[in-house]
Amino acid sequence: MSETEIIIEPGRQDVVFKKVFDAPRDIVFRALTDPDLVPRYWGPARYETIVDVMEPREGGRWRYVQRGPEGEFAFHGVYHEVTPERIVQTSEFEGAPGVPALEWATLEEHDGKTFYVAVSLAPSVEIRDAVVASGMESGARELYDRLDELIEGLLARP
């Protein structure tokens, strides 16, 4: 399993996530866009994730609910683009409604591996810093490790 590289530069509005999956792109894309698979990796493992809405296509909507010891949290957004090369969506935390983040992921395949780069762009530096302070980094590492495990499992039993 590869390390997740997380880049958080001071004064910027974005956080960048890089990961290399030892699997072809179509498998990674499937894991990212199949509503039945999302609950198996999205968010920290101590939360249950419920996919309330997921329409992975241009103009489609998504909404995930997380249930955990601290209560229930929900996130939602719309998809701007969904292709095996790039997924672009908005993402709003319903606990702090306002302007959403813009999130995009690019997927490139080389020699059977998928090079994944995701960017989360906050509407301000202050909001990005607040999200980082809330523990986003450890949550993201857990998410990407679980996604990696899921993808390994899909490769073994497609």
Which residues contribute to the site for a copy of itself (CB under 8 A)? 11-14, 55, 58-61, 77-81, 86, 88, 90, 92, 99-100, 102, 104, 119, 121, 123
Measured CA to CA, the distance from residue 81 to residue 20 in angstroms comes to: 22
Token pair of 80 as six digits: 């701007």
Q: Which is nearer to a copy of itself, 47 or 120 (CB)?
A: 120
Distance in Å, CB of 113 to a copy of itself, minimum: 23
Distance in Å, CB of 61 to a copy of itself, minimum: 5
For Cα atoms 47, 86, 81, give the angle at the middle one, nearest 5 degrees: 85
Query: Which parts of the chain fold into alpha helices (H)?
Result: 25-33, 125-133, 136-156
Q: Which is nearer to a copy of itself, 4 or 89 (CB)?
A: 89
Q: How far from chain centre, in Å, is Cα 87?
A: 10
Q: Which is nearer to a copy of itself, 3 or 58 (CB)?
A: 58
Q: Which is nearer to a copy of itself, 38 or 87 (CB)?
A: 87
Decide if 117 contacts 105 (C-beta within 8 A). yes
Distance in Å, CB of 116 to a copy of itself, minimum: 15
Q: Which is nearer to a copy of itself, 46 or 86 (CB)?
A: 86
Rounded to the nearest 10 degrees, the angle between the axes of helix 136-156 and helix 25-33 is 120
Sequence-distant (≥ 6) Cβ neighbours of residue 5 within 8 angstroms: 16, 17, 18, 19
Distance in Å, CB of 80 to a copy of itself, minimum: 4
Distance in Å, CB of 76 to a copy of itself, minimum: 9
Token pair of 25 as six digits: 């792109």
